[in-house]
Amino acid sequence: MNRVVITGIGTVNALAHDAAGFWEAIKAGRTAIRPIENFDTSKVRSKLGAEVRGFDPSNIIDPMKLRRMDKLSQMVLVSSIEAMRDAGINSGDIPAERMGIVIGNGFGGSSCTDEFFIGLIERGPAGANPMLFPTTVPNSAASITSIELGIKGPNSTFCQKDVSAEEAMVYAIGLLRKGAADAIISGGGEELNFVTFHAFGSLNVLSERHGSWPEGCFPFDRKRNGRVLGEGAGVLVFETLESAKRRGARIYAEVAGEAMTGGISSAHCYGTETGPKVRAMRMALERSGLSPEEIGYISASANSTHELDPSEAAAVKDLFGPSAGTVPISTIRPMTGDFEGMGGLRLLTSVLTMRDGCIPPTLGLEHPLTVGLAYVRGANVQAEVDAVLHNGFGNGGACACIVLKKHSNP
């Protein structure tokens, strides 16, 4: 089985439109969550979100091509271009047939889908814009990116709600381990629009002001009361170690282990059972050859919901035992908002955490719901991080965990 490393990163999100600007915002402890401006929220009790504002990819992508792309595809493509450049992959470095792409998203270009079907319903087939139709399918981001970058290897899309990007990345890593490709762009993203916001609002899963409880994203905090949606894309270049060495590439980190499990919970619930979460973390650690005590940081999946946060905290305490109180744990969702397919952005953050020894805090965490965990809150913490456990836990019961470690040459 091939060893797999990470050689490039790229992102467009509500904090910044590239990885460098994003990391500076994270280190400064800034948040992009604010009142939504891009669409009407008057019929929903929730008002906050993390919108990607001022994003103009016309200096990177031909404006004529942009007209045929939904916002998610634009963000994934721009992120992928940045990641490829960051990895130092130029045309011909890797044969097109040995380069792949695997992207995770929950709904795809839902704003274009909405526009297309409104035209179809109101004006009939002649009134539906045919240019929008190709973006009504969830795999448009991966497909458009592969066309623009000339990728001819494995091409897949995962739609598994919260853990769409995690499952995409685990699948991509597996393809590389088995030799199906030399390098794969993988990660995910989602766009925030009227359709998705109102859909989540109708399910009563968004945070809202209620009495003395504020609207906001407060993972692991007693005042948490629901999700605050965001948008963006985050991708990484995963590459076999042999290919990276052949190119003389800079290596950010090595993928030490990965695992996926499933639980039993209803379609819109995270469930309170810890078993599937513990199994996913344990399997990823066992495959990495690392012990819980060797993990320097846990990138938590907690998203300010009543079910997930205490369940994840209990699962971590169960697996880590006495060392649970010494391993730093946090999540960036209070800075970026929470969106389907954000696992790529979160894993990208862990890569930079390892590089710079800077662990981001969980903003707004004032009254922890449970004791016994080493929550990072208030401000970032400087610490040497040799290994990271990335947790991805979704509603419906899906779990996916990835362990990263600093690369060594043996």
Question: Sheet holding 398-405: strands in order across?
Answer: 155-158, 99-104, 183-190, 232-240, 4-13, 253-262, 398-405, 387-393, 297-299, 328-330, 374-375
- Going from the C-alpha of 367 to that of each of 131, 220, 370, the distances in angstroms are 50, 8, 9
Q: Locate tokens 């009361």: which residue?
A: 225
- pLDDT by residue, tens only, the chain of 410 residues: 999 999 999 999 999 999 999 999 999 999 999 999 999 999 899 999 999 999 999 999 998 888 888 899 999 999 999 999 999 998 889 999 999 999 999 888 767 676 666 777 777 777 777 666 677 778 999 999 999 999 999 999 999 989 999 999 999 999 999 999 999 999 999 999 998 899 899 888 999 998 788 999 999 999 999 999 999 999 999 999 999 999 999 999 999 999 999 887 766 678 788 999 999 999 999 999 999 999 999 999 999 999 999 999 999 999 999 999 999 999 999 999 999 999 999 999 999 999 999 999 999 999 999 889 999 999 999 999 999 999 999 988 899 999 999 988 66
Q: What is the pLDDT of residue 64?
A: 85
Q: What is the pLDDT of residue 210?
A: 80
d(CA 193, CA 200): 11
DSSP classification of residue 39: S
Q: Which helix (H) or strand (E) holds 256?
A: strand 253-262
**Which residues, 6+ apart, have CB-to-CB distance to 141 below 8 Å?**
70, 72, 73, 76, 77, 103, 105, 108, 109, 157, 189, 233
Largest CA distance in the chain: 66
- Going from the C-alpha of 199 to that of each of 187, 203, 375, the distances in angstroms are 24, 7, 32
Q: What is the pLDDT of residue 273?
A: 84
The amino acid at 86? D
Torsion-angle region of 88 (φ positive above 0: left; ψ -120 to 50: alpha; else: beta): left
Q: What is the pLDDT of residue 360?
A: 97
Torsion-angle region of 377 (φ positive above 0: left; ψ -120 to 50: alpha; else: beta): beta
**Which residues, 6+ apart, have CB-to-CB distance to 307 below 8 Å?**
269, 270, 271, 272
**How many residues does the structure list for the chain?**
410
Contact (CB, 8 A) for 189 and 109: no
Quote the pTM value. 0.94
Q: Which helix (H) or strand (E) holds 71?
A: helix 71-87
Q: What is the pLDDT of residue 28?
A: 95
Residue 157: helix, strand or coil by DSSP?
strand
Q: What is the pLDDT of residue 163?
A: 95
- Both structure tokens of 96: 């097109």
Contact (CB, 8 A) for 6 and 253: yes
What phi and psi values does residue 342 have, to the nearest 5 degrees? -90, 5
HSE value, Cβ hemisphere, 13 Å, CA-based, for 157: 20
